[in-house]
Amino acid sequence: MRRAPEELRSHRWFGAGDLRSFGHRSRAQQMGYDAEEYTGRPVIGILNTWSELNPCHTHFRERAEEVKRGVWQAGGFPVELPAMSLSEPFQKPTTMLYRNMLAMEAEELLRSHPVDGAVLMGGCDKTTPGLVMGATSMGLPFVFLPAGPMLPGRWGTEVLGSGSDTWKYWDHKRTGTITDEDWRAIEGGIARSPGHCMTMGTASTMTAAAEALGLSLPGASSVPAAFSGHARMAVATGRRIVDMVWEDLRPGEVLTPAAFTNAVTVVMALGGSTNSVIHLIAMAGRAGVELSLDDFDAVSRRTPVLANIRPSGAYLMADFHDAGGLRALMSELGDLLDLDARTVAGTTLGENIAGAAVHDPDVIRGRDRALAPEGALAVLRGSLAPDGCVLKTSAASPHLLQHTGPAVVFDGYDHLAARIDADDLDVDADSVLVLRGAGPIGGPGMPEWGQLPIPEKLLRAGVSDMVRISDARMSGTSYGTCVLHVAPESAAGGPLALVRDGDLVRLDVPGRRLDLLVPDDELAARREAWRPPAPQQARGYGAMFARHVTQADRGCDFDFLAGSGAPEPAIH
């Protein structure tokens, strides 16, 4: 059913014969538009997270023009609305502090302007969930346009992957196996085109999740940013959103419980970033869908890891794209997905992946040759994490998955940085490194500190992995036996706050447990003596964040942002 032009939301701004619409039309003329250029056409807001400090989105100025080209072709009227860019490399203390701010901005930009539908331009980690959360709450038709991965990095004959190889070669530099000159050459070769991180980090995971949710055009998420196909995908996205507005295809029809289960399944098959757990729970909350940590564990247990991409595997996103991309991966998953789920393309997921083929079975594995038969991620609970925590099993060491060892505790990052390489640090390969004060409130913003460095003296002795536990997150490009997202966090009085050096901690991944082996009466006495840390910020956004952010198991959204719906603004 095609809507009539008078039913467009923007008609309220432009269509009436009153004083206000006179103002809107005269101001459109001021911008150089005659009424016939926009009258009766869907107004498409292009939310562009371009910035001169976001290297992953450097191509977005051009891409916005390509989206506009598509919108014009389909008979729409495009307007570009700049939105806060969340730049993973540059923004401190962490972009996670601002994901909800972008979500609020996206929602209110759409609500307050004469817009009928939106194209969301994101890709660098938090931009994807931030934009989708906000646009979902607003409820207008939208298509997500993924930034696309950057091309592979290179150092001599070595292929370099974002993040993962930074950590790897930093350890080599710390132990003296590469020179300062090598390190500088790696710096020059690891990021050499537009686009987001090209390992299976948070960016690749979340753009794939968005496509699996049905929010992008089929096959969009893996197209490298620098490929001409990416520009063509942007034009097609512009064309499609105009039709979506006429069809009045709203996010509520796409973002069903089945769509979220599909997204979680795809994340597991990709060996995706643990950050996706937090983001998908928050996105589901906006769509009114119940998604819990236990859902992730349940899906993980039945989903094989098929994508051979770093850090869990060997290849990079351009290889994945050439091997067939997400459509090919989803067709391998077959019956593990709900193929009847509707997508923004106007078709079902099943229709979108029909005919997709795997061109390189080493990159996209068949289920009989999976990287792991199941279990990319495990959700654990126990006396140290009553509300849960997560571990990326596909990036962990098998011999540490059942381990008991004495805790070495760090109170915040400064304490960690000052002490970790000290010669007198009482630590060995069996120790369990614990970092606290790094959660949503404590960090603040739950920084990606969860891949705690291995103490230098152990690194030199050949120790490459240890059990590490924190209330922090971890970059999707990281690896190691790192227990993350411990909830409640220490700053909120979680048991993590009570751990002391030497306490025995038991990790049991097969049993899905994380326990602090300290008698109850001793813990009660410690709790009695515990005092919450003073708030870090007395005013401004940071103060609001600390008051309203939910814990990791609830997605770290603000408590007042769940769900959707708010009155349309009055126009007078």
Residues near ligand FES (CB under 6 A): 56, 88-89, 124-125, 162, 196-197, 201, 203
Query: ∠ at Cα 563 (562, 568), nearest 5°?
Result: 115
Interacting partner of 441 out of Mg ion, ligand FES, none (Cβ under 5 to 8 A depending on kind) = none
Interacting partner of 475 out of Mg ion, ligand FES, none (Cβ under 5 to 8 A depending on kind) = Mg ion
- Quote the CA–CA distance of 125 and 135 in Å, as a whole number: 17
- Quote the CA–CA distance of 133 and 392 in Å, as a whole number: 24
Kindly report the length of the chain: 572
Interacting partner of 505 out of Mg ion, ligand FES, none (Cβ under 5 to 8 A depending on kind) = none
Q: Centre a 10 Å sphere on the Cβ of residue 542 and count the other Cβ atoms it contains.
A: 16
Q: Contact with Mg ion (CB under 5 A): which of 10, 202, 265, 550?
A: 202
Residue whose CB is less far from ligand FES, 203 or 242: 203
What is the contact mask toward Mg ion in residues 466 to 495, using x (rule: CB under 5 A)? ---------x--------------------
Residue whose CB is less far from ligand FES, 101 or 516: 101
Helix (H, G, I), strand (E, B) or coil at 488: coil
Interacting partner of 332 out of Mg ion, ligand FES, none (Cβ under 5 to 8 A depending on kind) = none
Closest CA to 405 of 325, 322, 515: 515
Per CB under 5 A, 125 contacts Mg ion: yes
**Least distance to Mg ion from the beta carbon of 496, Å?**
23
Whether 96 contacts 121, CB under 8 Å = no
Closest CA to 50 of 78, 79, 80, 82: 82
Distances (CA, A) of 386 to 16, 293, 346, 444: 57, 12, 42, 21
Interacting partner of 70 out of ligand FES, Mg ion, none (Cβ under 5 to 8 A depending on kind) = none
Q: Going by DSSP bridges, is the β-strand pair 117-122/142-146 parallel, antiparallel, or unpaired?
A: parallel
What is the contact mask toward Mg ion in residues 149 to 168, using x (rule: CB under 5 A)? --------------------
**Least distance to ligand FES from the beta carbon of 89, Å?**
5
**Least distance to ligand FES from the beta carbon of 486, Å?**
24
**Least distance to ligand FES from the beta carbon of 124, Å?**
3
Interacting partner of 89 out of Mg ion, ligand FES, none (Cβ under 5 to 8 A depending on kind) = ligand FES
Residue whose CB is less far from ligand FES, 61 or 547: 61
Instruction: Find the Cα–Cα–Cα–Cα dihedral 161, 170, 189, 209, rounded to 10°.
Output: 30
- Quote the CA–CA distance of 124 and 50 in Å, as a whole number: 10
Interacting partner of 440 out of Mg ion, ligand FES, none (Cβ under 5 to 8 A depending on kind) = none
- Quote the CA–CA distance of 239 and 203 in Å, as a whole number: 25
Q: Going by DSSP bridges, is the β-strand pair 482-484/467-470 parallel, antiparallel, or unpaired?
A: parallel
Q: Centre a 10 Å sphere on the Cβ of residue 17 and count the other Cβ atoms it contains.
A: 6
- Quote the CA–CA distance of 199 and 437 in Å, as a whole number: 28
Residue whose CB is less far from ligand FES, 273 or 331: 273
Strands (E), 92-132: 117-122
In one letter, which amino acid is 121? M
Interacting partner of 116 out of ligand FES, Mg ion, none (Cβ under 5 to 8 A depending on kind) = none
Interacting partner of 471 out of ligand FES, Mg ion, none (Cβ under 5 to 8 A depending on kind) = none
**Least distance to ligand FES from the beta carbon of 390, Å?**
20
**Least distance to ligand FES from the beta carbon of 308, Å?**
20
**Least distance to ligand FES from the beta carbon of 528, Å?**
43
- Quote the CA–CA distance of 542 and 94 in Å, as a whole number: 12
**Least distance to ligand FES from the beta carbon of 196, Å?**
3
% helix / strand / coil in the chain, to the nearest 5?
Answer: 40, 15, 45
Residue whose CB is less far from Mg ion, 100 or 202: 202
**Least distance to ligand FES from the beta carbon of 131, Å?**
14
**Least distance to ligand FES from the beta carbon of 209, Å?**
14
Burial group, residue 130, by CB count within 10 angstroms (0-12, 13-18, 19+): buried
In one letter, which amino acid is 422? A
Per CB under 5 A, 221 contacts Mg ion: no
Interacting partner of 334 out of ligand FES, Mg ion, none (Cβ under 5 to 8 A depending on kind) = none
Interacting partner of 236 out of Mg ion, ligand FES, none (Cβ under 5 to 8 A depending on kind) = none
Phi, psi angle pair for 516, to nearest 5°? -100, 115
**Least distance to Mg ion from the beta carbon of 414, Å?**
22
Closest CA to 146 of 56, 71, 72, 277: 56
**Least distance to Mg ion from the beta carbon of 190, Å?**
14
What are the residues whose beta carbons fall under 8 Å from the beta carbon of 77, sequence distance 6 or more?
A: 33, 37, 38, 41, 42, 43, 44, 71
Q: Which stretch binds Mg ion (CB under 5 A): 134-142, 198-206, 318-326, 549-557?
A: 198-206
Residue whose CB is less far from ligand FES, 46 or 203: 203
Q: Centre a 10 Å sphere on the Cβ of residue 546 and count the other Cβ atoms it contains.
A: 18
Residue whose CB is less far from ligand FES, 201 or 405: 201
- Quote the CA–CA distance of 436 and 472 in Å, as a whole number: 8
Residue whose CB is less far from ligand FES, 56 or 516: 56
Residue whose CB is less far from ligand FES, 203 or 491: 203
Q: Going by DSSP bridges, is the β-strand pair 378-382/385-391 parallel, antiparallel, or unpaired?
A: antiparallel
Per CB under 5 A, 201 contacts Mg ion: yes
Interacting partner of 124 out of Mg ion, ligand FES, none (Cβ under 5 to 8 A depending on kind) = ligand FES
Residue whose CB is less far from ligand FES, 138 or 203: 203
**Least distance to ligand FES from the beta carbon of 418, Å?**
27
Whether 223 contacts 192, CB under 8 Å = no
Contact residues for Mg ion, defined by CB under 5 A:
88, 125, 201-202, 475
